[in-house]
Chains A and B, each alone.
Chain A
C-alpha cells in the first residue's frame, strides 16, 4: 500500500539498524512516548534489530491507560442511568473500573455505543431528543480537536441533550514529570508524531534545553521509529540536546493552527490525575466556563467516590518506563486480557497488551 509499504521495507530497516550500530559507542536509554509506537516496536520486532546497547523504554502515551479509575466509574454510572446513552471510543470499553468495565455495563442493559468520531454523538443526540447523550472524551492532544469540535458544534446547534465526560491529558508535563523523577533513566525521547501533528513541537524546545535531553518527533511505522532512534542516538553521541523532526511528512513546527484554535476555544489547561502516576500540574484540559453546560460531571452531579485499584498492578511504573510489563509478577498469570488488573493490559496502546500479544511465551524481552 502506498505510503505504508515503503516504511515497512525489511531491507531498508536492516540498513538503518546497521547505521545505528555503527553510530553507537555506549549504552543509551530512549523512551518512546506513544503506545502506538510501543505496539509497532513489539509487533514488527524493531527492538530485535537494534544493538544491545540501545534500550527502549515505553512511555505513558496510552490515553486509555492513564484515565483515572474514578472517571471510568463515573462513565459506568452514567451508562447505567435510564434514558442515557454513553458514547465512547471502542478502546475504552474493556478497561476495568473499580468493580466492572463498560462492556459488562452494556451487557447488563446500559446503552453504551462505540463511535469513531465524537461528531457522531451529535447525530445520536438529534435522533434521541428524549435521551441524554454523553461522550467519554478521552485522549491526548491528538483527539482534543475533534472532541472540542463536537462541544463547539453542540453549542452552535443548540443541542442541549449532549455533554462530555472529559479526561484529556497533555504530553509535555508528563515528560517533565518523568525527567524530574529521582529514578529517571531516560536519556532521550521519541515524541509522539500524532500529538505533534496537532500541537507542533515548539513547546518541547524548552524541555530539551532544560533537561539536556534530545527529543525527536517520530512517526509510527518501522522505518520512522528506526530513523527516530538513529536521530536520537546521533544527538546523544554528539552531546546535543535539541528537538528534531523525523516525521516531516506530517508534522510542522507550528502544528495545525486550526486544530489548536478550536482546542483553545473550548478547553483550558488544568491539573489532571493520571492513573497509576498521580496528579500532574497543568497536565490536562478542562472545559472553559463558557462551555460548562456541556460538562457531564456537572450535569449529572457526579461526585468523586473512592475508587479501588488493584494493589498488585504496577501500571504506574510501567507507564513511566521504570518497569517492563514482563517484570510484573502478575503479568500473564493473574493479569491477562480476559482478567486485567490494570488498563495497559487491555488497551490497544497499552505496553502490557503489546508484550502479552506479541512476546509472551519463552521469548525473554531483550529491551
Chain B
C-alpha cells in the first residue's frame, strides 16, 4: 500500500483535478487518460498493441489464438431509431472482437439497473440482446445484475465482454499497416451519432435518421475467407473515422491520406451535422469499420464488401503513403487543397452561430 501511495498521479492535479466528460469523449483527453493512467500501470504485451481487444495464445506449444475484449454502454435514450442499448451492447463487443480478426463466440453481460426502471423496459432490452446475439451467432454465457438506488444510474448501464477465436494466420493489428495499403470503409458515416443527437435534441428531418448499429462479424469473415490480405481493421465508434485513423497512424507510425469526396455521408446526416456545426468525420458509428488491405487485394476486397448487405455502400477512401509524415492523417478537400485531420480534444460541442 505504501508504494501505491508514494506514486504520484500521472494526470497532474493542476491540470485536471477532476474527471471531465471530455475524458470519455474518445479524443485526446481520453487517450491521455488511458495512456498515462492505465497503460503504464497495467503494462503487458497484449495491452501494448492498442487494439480493440487483447489477442493472446493458449497451449504449450501455443495452439489456440484468442481475442478478448470488454465495453460498457451508457447510451441515452435507451431506445433510439435503429436500435437500443441492448442490441448496441452486443454489436459493440462482437465488433471489437471482429476487429481483432477473431470469430466472436461467447459474451458476458453485466447489467447495472436503476431502481424504478420499468420491468417491461428491462424485458425489451434483454430480448433485444438475445435477438442481436442470435443474429451475430454468439452466445451470452454468463452475466451479473446489480440494482442501484434511484438517481445513481441513468435507467440502465450495460457492460459486455467477449471471447473470440482467431482461425487464420494474418496478424491484424495497427502494427501491420504498411505504406501502399488501401483504406476501405463499409458504408456511409455518422448515422449512429446523429440518430442519438436527433432524438436527444428533438431535431426532426423529412426522414428519421436510423443508427447503423450492426454486427460486422459476418462481413469480415467473408473478407477473411476470401483470403484477402487484411493488415488492420478498426470500427469507427466513439470519435468516428478521424479518431480511428489518428490512433492507427500514431501506433503504426504511418502517414494516412484520405479523399473527402470519396467518404460517403448520407444527405440527412450531413444536414444534421451542418445545423449543429458537427463534422461527420468525428461522429460515432456502430456498424462501420475501416479496413487497411494490401493494394493488390483492394479491388477484390471492395467487391467482397459490396456483395454483403452491410457493405453495400463500401468505398475506397484513401491510402497509406510511403513518403508522408509518420503519424499524420491528411485529407484532400473537395476543392483540391490538403489539410490535416486532427484528433479532437474532447467531444464536439455545438457552435454558437
Contact = CB atoms under 8 A, between A and B. Distances in A.
A91 B350 contact: yes
A317 interface: no
Contact of A107 (B18, B337, B340, B351): B18
A48 B353 contact: no
A50 to B, nearest CB: 11
Interface string A317-350: 0000000000000000000111100000010110
B259 to A, nearest CB: 11
A360 interface: yes
B274 interface: yes
A114 B348 CA distance: 12
A337 B336 CA distance: 27
Interface string A41-60: 01111101100000000000
B201 interface: yes
Given A10-B336, A339-B15, A1 B267 contact: yes
A89 B350 contact: yes
A7 B14 CA distance: 46
A285 interface: no
Contacts of A93: 349
Given A44-B337, A107-B21, A143 B353 contact: yes
Contacts of B345: 94, 336-338, 346
Contacts of B335: 8-10, 13-14, 44-46, 49, 222
Contacts of B349: 90-91, 93-94, 114, 348
A274 B32 CA distance: 34
B334 interface: yes
Contacts of A194: 353
A196 interface: no
A364 interface: no
Most buried by A among B337, B344, B350: B337
B176 to A, nearest CB: 25
Contacts of B340: 357-361, 363
Interface in B329-353: 333-340, 342, 344-346, 349-353
A142 B339 contact: no
Interface in A34-76: 36, 42-46, 48-49, 63-64
A361 B337 contact: no
Interface in A222-253: 222
Contacts of B270: 1, 4
A138 interface: yes
- A94, A358, A360 — which one has the most chain B CB atoms within 10 A of its CB? A358
A8 B334 contact: yes
Interface in A1-39: 1, 4, 8-10, 13-14, 36
A36 B353 contact: yes
A48 B336 CA distance: 9
B161 interface: no
A359 B339 contact: yes
A363 B338 CA distance: 10
A45 B353 CA distance: 22
Interface in B8-59: 15-22, 28-29, 32
Contacts of A143: 352-353
B226 to A, nearest CB: 35
Given A46-B337, A356-B342, A104 B18 contact: yes
B89 interface: no
A235 B15 CA distance: 50
B270 to A, nearest CB: 5
A194 B346 CA distance: 28
Nearest to A222: B335
A104 B20 contact: yes
B330 to A, nearest CB: 9
Contact of B20 (A43, A107, A336): A107
Given A338-B29, A356-B342, A10 B334 contact: yes
A140 B351 CA distance: 13
B350 A44 contact: no
Contacts of A359: 339-340
A182 interface: no
B271 A1 contact: yes
20 contacts: A1-B270, A1-B271, A8-B335, A10-B335, A36-B353, A45-B335, A45-B336, A63-B353, A90-B351, A103-B20, A103-B21, A114-B349, A116-B276, A116-B350, A222-B334, A349-B352, A357-B342, A358-B339, A358-B342, A363-B340
Interface of B: 15-22, 28-29, 32, 201, 261, 267, 270-271, 274, 276-277, 325, 328, 333-340, 342, 344-346, 349-353
Given A14-B335, A14-B336, A94-B345, 8 more contacts: A1-B274, A4-B270, A45-B335, A48-B337, A93-B349, A116-B276, A140-B353, A348-B349
